[in-house]
Amino acid sequence: MKFRPLHDRVVIRRAESDTKSRGGIIIPDNAKEKPQEGEVIAVGPGARDENGALVPLDVKAGDFILFGKWSGTEVKIDGEDLLIMKEADIMGVIDKSETDIIDKTGAVKKAA
C-alpha cells in the first residue's frame, strides 16, 4: 500500500462478516451488518500536544481493534475497501490469544 496516514489517523481493514445466519439462511451483501472490528493496516506518527511534542499512538499495524458503528471514513485504496479514523474513535485492542467465550447462561469459557 502506498498510503501513509497523517497525525493520529489509522487505516483499518474491516473483519469479514458472516454470510450465513445461525439458522443457515444466506444473508445478501446489502443486508449484512458491517462488523465493528478490524485489523490496523497503517498508523500515523502521532498527534502533537500543547507543547508541540509528538505523542505516539497506542495502536500499531497488525493489532485487532474494536471501533464504533459509525466511526471513520470509508475509502478505496488499491482496489480494497478500508476505513480511515482517528485513534480516539478506537474503543480498544482485541487480544485474540486470550479471548473468552460467554455462553447464553453467562458462564465464561476460555477459547480453544
pLDDT in tens, 68-106: 888 889 999 888 889 999 999 999 998 876 555 555 555
Please indicate whether residue 68 or residue 26 has the higher confidence score (pLDDT): 68
pLDDT at 39: 92
CA–CA gap between residue 70 and residue 21 (Å, rounded): 23
pLDDT in tens, 2-23: 788 899 899 999 887 655 556 6
pLDDT at 21: 52
